[in-house]
A and B are shown apart, each in its own frame.
Chain A
Amino acid sequence: MRQPGCFFKRHWQGAAGAAIGVFFLIATPLSFINGAVLQKTLEAVLHLRIDPSYSGGEVMAVFRDRARDDVGAGTLEYPLADEFQNGHALDLIKYTVHEPVVDSRNGGFANADRGSYWQVDVLMADRGPACVHLYIDTGGGALGSTQSATSRSELVRFDPAHPWDLFVEIDFKDARAFVENVSKTIHRPLTVFSFSERRGLAVRLPLDIPEVQRVLDGRSTWHYVLVGAYDDYAPGHFMKTQANASLHAGGGSVSSLEPRVYDCLVPRGVNKAKMLSSYDDSSGRLATVEPVEARKGVAPAASDEKRIAALEASAAADAHAANAALLRDIQNKTGLQRAVALFQAGRDAEARAAFTAILATAPEDPRALAYQGALTAKEGGATKNLGAAIRFVNEGFALMDRAVALDQKAGTPFADPLVARGMVAISVPETVFNKSAQGAEDFGAAAAWFEGAGPDFAETCAEMFVDQGIAFERASEAEAAEISFIKAASLDPKKASTILQLVKRGYEE
Chain B
Amino acid sequence: MNGQLEHSMENRQTILDPALRLLGLAEPLASDKDRASLPVALVVTAFAGYWTLFFVMGLSKVSLGALLVSVWFIGLFYLIIRSGKPAVYRRVFFVSIALFFFPSFIANLVAARGSMALSAQDIFANETPYCHIVSTMTVLPWALTRTVIFPGRLTGSYASIYSMLAIWLVASLTLGRGWCAWVCFYGGWDDLFSRARKRALISLEGKEASVRRFSYAMLAFVALASLASLSAVYCVWLCPFKLVTEYPAITGFTGYLATMIFILAFFGLVVVMPALTRKRFQCAAYCPFGALQGLIDGISPFRIRIDTAACIGCGACARVCPVLAIDKALIEAKKAVPHLNCVKCGECVAACPRGAIRLAFRIASAPLVAPAAAITAKADKAPSTSARERRMGAMLAEIVQPRILFATTAFVFGMVISSSFAVRSVGMVIVAVAGLFTGGR
Contacts and interface: CB of A to CB of B under 8 A. Distances in A.
A337 interface: no
Interface stretch (A40-48, A347-355, A461-469): A40-48
Interface in B190-238: 229-231, 236
Interface in B109-157: 120-121, 123-126, 141-142, 146-152, 154-155, 157
B413 interface: yes
Contact of B149 (A35, A46, A105): A105
A13 B400 CA distance: 13
A109 B170 contact: no
A20 B382 CA distance: 29
B367 to A, nearest CB: 10
B355 interface: no
A185 interface: no
A28 B170 contact: yes
Interface residues of A, number: 50
Contacts of A32: 55, 416
Nearest to A36: B157
A487 to B, nearest CB: 23
A178 interface: no
Contacts of B142: 46, 48
A194 interface: yes
A409 interface: no
Interface string B379-402: 100101100000000000000101
Given A14-B361, A49-B146, A56-B124, A39 B162 contact: yes
Contacts, number: 180
B416 A14 contact: no
A50 B385 contact: no
A16 interface: yes
A29 B412 contact: yes
Interface string B228-250: 01110000100000000000110
Contacts of A16: 361, 363-364
A109 B126 contact: no
Contacts of A333: none
B255 interface: yes
Nearest to B141: A51
Nearest to B54: A29
A163 to B, nearest CB: 32
B151 A110 contact: no
Contact of B362 (A17, A36, A43, A106): A17
A194 B124 CA distance: 9
A345 to B, nearest CB: 38
B9 interface: no
Contacts of A54: 123-124, 126, 151
A7 B147 CA distance: 51
B316 interface: no
A25 interface: yes
Interface string A180-206: 000000000001011100000010000
Given A17-B402, A51-B230, A39 B408 contact: no
A21 B163 contact: no
A360 interface: no
Contacts of A20: 301, 361, 363
B146 A38 contact: no
B182 to A, nearest CB: 11
A315 B173 CA distance: 49
Contact of A191 (B120, B173, B236): B120
Tell me whether chain A's interface is mostly helix, strand or loop, or mixed: helix
A21 B252 contact: no
Contacts of A50: 126, 147-148, 150-152, 154
Interface in A97-136: 105-106, 108-111
Nearest to B360: A17
Given A11-B366, A108-B236, A17 B382 contact: no
Contacts of B146: 46-49
B202 to A, nearest CB: 35
A13 B360 CA distance: 11
A193 B125 contact: yes
A457 interface: no
B355 to A, nearest CB: 18
Nearest to A191: B120
Contacts of A108: 236, 248, 252, 254-255, 258
A334 interface: no
A2 interface: yes
A35 B163 contact: yes
B361 A18 contact: yes
Contact of A11 (B152, B162, B374): B374
B100 to A, nearest CB: 17
29 contacts: A2-B384, A7-B371, A7-B375, A11-B371, A16-B361, A16-B364, A20-B301, A22-B400, A24-B174, A31-B170, A35-B157, A35-B166, A38-B166, A39-B160, A39-B163, A42-B165, A42-B166, A48-B147, A49-B146, A50-B148, A53-B230, A54-B126, A54-B151, A55-B126, A108-B255, A109-B123, A110-B252, A195-B125, A202-B124
Given A28-B170, A48-B147, A50-B150, 7 more contacts: A7-B371, A13-B366, A17-B402, A51-B147, A55-B124, A110-B252, A111-B120
Interface of A: 1-3, 7, 11, 13-18, 20-22, 24-25, 27-29, 31-32, 35-36, 38-39, 42-43, 46-56, 105-106, 108-111, 191, 193-195, 202, 476
10 tightest Cβ-Cβ pairs between the two chains A and B = A17-B361, A110-B252, A21-B405, A18-B400, A54-B151, A193-B124, A39-B162, A13-B364, A38-B166, A110-B251
